[in-house]
Structure 1
Amino acid sequence: MSDTEPISTDGAPSNDNPYSQGVRAGDTLHVSGYGPVDPETGEAVDGDIGTQTDRVLENIAAVVDAAGGDGLADVVKVTVYLTDLEDYERVNEAYGERFGDEPPARVCVEVSRLPEDVRVEMDATAYLG
């Protein structure tokens, strides 16, 4: 028997696609990829890449909170997907402001395109032990 639990929250965007916002497996939470989408409107937020990065991280934090965690404080790994590596430094600034002195492990890759033509998406892993 699998020890997994799908996580759902109104604090992060959802849609009709076949995936969970997050899946808890024991003390590990796998958070699906999120772009800079406002969960109330279902639309990408306006603003520069820093503003969009903040929205992405708020979405991830909401899923961690819904799983019983402590937002970004419990995140141990993030993958960042950018459609333009020219945004890398500004994303780093916004990301660093949110994670502080002890950021999680991270990968950043440039991709050709993201859903809804957003410029940034992230997925995450959190430890909830």
Structure 2
Amino acid sequence: MAALIRRIISTAKAPAAIGPYSQAVVVDRTMYISGQLGMDPVSGQLVDGGVQAQTRQALVNMGEILQTAGCSYENVFKTNFPARAAYQVADLPRGGLVEIEAIAVLGPLSDAA
């Protein structure tokens, strides 16, 4: 069996990982995107405006990571309806109000007939 290739995805257009992990990793054609907070990539601070603003920024950050890997939101298959999960935690890093993770595939996608 041939070995699968693992590639770390990193971009300065999204906040750097807070802990000892990467923004995303691609294994074969599957990309696992680490949870994104609503942080401004330049200042490293959470954006003002509450949960809606932080959600918007987390998705912008995710879009930058997807673009760095050569794909887009259309390649995401987990986090979109209906394949998603929601968790309640005591505290997110840096007092974040929302964190969004995703799984995407690289390459063109089409729906089955």
> What's the TM-score, normalizing by structure 2?
0.84
One-letter code aligned to 1:128: L
Alignment partner of 2:84: what SS? strand
Moved over 4 A (4+): none
1:41 is aligned to 43
Change (3 A) 1:35 1:105: same
1:16-68 Cα deviation digits (max 9, x unpaired): 63211110111110011111000011000000211111101111111111011
Higher share of residues assigned helix: 1
Percent of pairs identical after alignment? 37
* Higher gyration radius (CA): 2
> What's the TM-score, normalizing by structure 1?
0.75
Change (3 A) 1:104 1:69: farther
Q: Distance in 2 between matches of 1:15 and 1:48?
A: 21
**Runs (5+) with no aligned partner, structure 2:** 108-113
**Runs (5+) with no aligned partner, structure 1:** 79-98
Q: Distance in 2 between matches of 1:119 and 1:127?
A: 27
2:88 is aligned to 110
Alignment partner of 2:91: what SS? coil
Number of equivalenced pairs: 105
Alignment partner of 2:85: what SS? strand
2:110 is aligned to none
